[in-house]
Structure 1
Amino acid sequence: MKIRPATAKDATILAALAIQIWLHTYAEEGVDHTTADYVINEFTPQNFRELLQDDTIRILIADVADHAVAYAVVDIASPCPSNQALDVELDTLYVQEYFAGQGIGRALVASIAKLIQAEKGHTDFWLTAYYQNENALAFYRKLGFVEIGTTVFEMGEDQYKNLVLAYRPESLRQQPNIVI
């Protein structure tokens, strides 16, 4: 496995991965008009090209045998709604189901922490996860993420509860009275 920064020529691959993983994760009852509209409009090569041009966005891709199997989108200037002191968001961490449980997500999180350390001087960051996505929540909790609030994801006219999780370095996790 190799983790690398995404480039503009990866935009189509990122769009295909995003649609495939998102639908597999969230379209448990099938695809309706709202879901179809969301993925077709949100996960486009053009949107990924625009993200790659944004100086606050970092996208990492995990390749296995020269094929993209996972990616992460990090916003290095995104204040957390539950704690304004956290200013780096892991916006997306998607791993194809075929490659789940092989350490790819863990390697991406470690790479993100190194990237943030190099750019911001710390390793703290936050993310949101759908409150019923037990696989993702178990993964994040195993890595030491802690719940610090809730937020809402809007798709069409529907709203979905998400948990806000924060990544805290080991030294802080051992001191429960410290709040980040």
Structure 2
Amino acid sequence: MKKRVEECQLKDIELLQKVSIETFNDTFKDQNSPENMEAYLLKAYNLNQLVKELKNESSMFYFIYDEANIAGYLKINVNEAQSEQMSHDRLEVERIYIRKEFQGKGLGKYLIEKAIMTATDLNKKKIWLGVWEENKKAIRFYHKIGFLQTGTHSFYMGDDEQIDLIMMKVLN
């Protein structure tokens, strides 16, 4: 398998939107009401919102490719772009999604490695993320690669308040 990571550009915005909606929907639609899913997708993945996030110099989006196919994406944040107030020595993995047909190929781990490399290049000491407490598969994955739970925060799926575990990894 030939995999590669490329930074998303403004010209990729519609593709980013498509992959974002597809992967989020595939991951969470079975555990949430259609109304809450639709409300969240409209808020988080409308083109104006994605353009704003993509133009933020403290956020970076990357596509991961398997051969010539976009297999998923990663969004990382530093400084004020982090979704929680964190010190400037941290990098947040805000979104990491792999399309269903590409799961189980190690691409998620590859994207985490990209995030760690970026954090190291930016002299960050820790990398963190929020993961829904009901997403047991993801929680196991993050534990396996050295993330530890350090807290929780609320995440709103439409009008449904859900709890995300804050997980952190100290970098060497």
Fold match (TM-score > 0.5): yes
Show CA shifts across 1:74-126 (max 9, x none): 11112755x6475321111111121112111111111111111112x135111
The 5-angstrom pairing of residues 78-97 of structure 1 reads: 78=82, 80=84, 84=87, 87-97=90-100
Question: Which residue of the partner structure matches residue 157 of structure 2?
Answer: 155
Higher Cα radius of gyration: 1
- 1:48 shift after superposition: 2.0
Question: Which residue of the partner structure matches residue 60 of structure 1?
Answer: 62
What amino acid sits opposite 1:39 in the alignment?
A: L
Instruction: Name the TM-score, length of structure 2 as normaliser.
Output: 0.88
Structure 1 contact 13–68 (Cα < 8 Å) conserved:
no
2:44 counterpart of 1:25: no
29 and 85 in structure 1: CA distance in 2 versus 1, 3 angstrom threshold: closer
Question: Which residue of the partner structure matches residue 13 of structure 2?
Answer: 11
Question: Which residue of the partner structure matches residue 37 of structure 2?
Answer: 35
Choose the corresponding residue for 1:116, options 103, 116, 119. 119
Question: Which residue of the partner structure matches residue 143 of structure 1?
Answer: 145
Cα separation, 1, equivalents of 2:83 and 2:100: 30
What amino acid sits opposite 1:113 in the alignment?
A: I
Structure 2 contact 17–46 (Cα < 8 Å) conserved:
yes
Kindly, what percent of the aligned residue pairs are identical? 18
What amino acid sits opposite 1:28 in the alignment?
A: D
Unaligned runs of 5+ residues in structure 2 are none
Unaligned runs of 5+ residues in structure 1 are 172-180
- 1:147 shift after superposition: 0.4
- 3-state DSSP class of the match of 1:74? strand
Q: Which structure shows the higher strand fraction?
A: 2
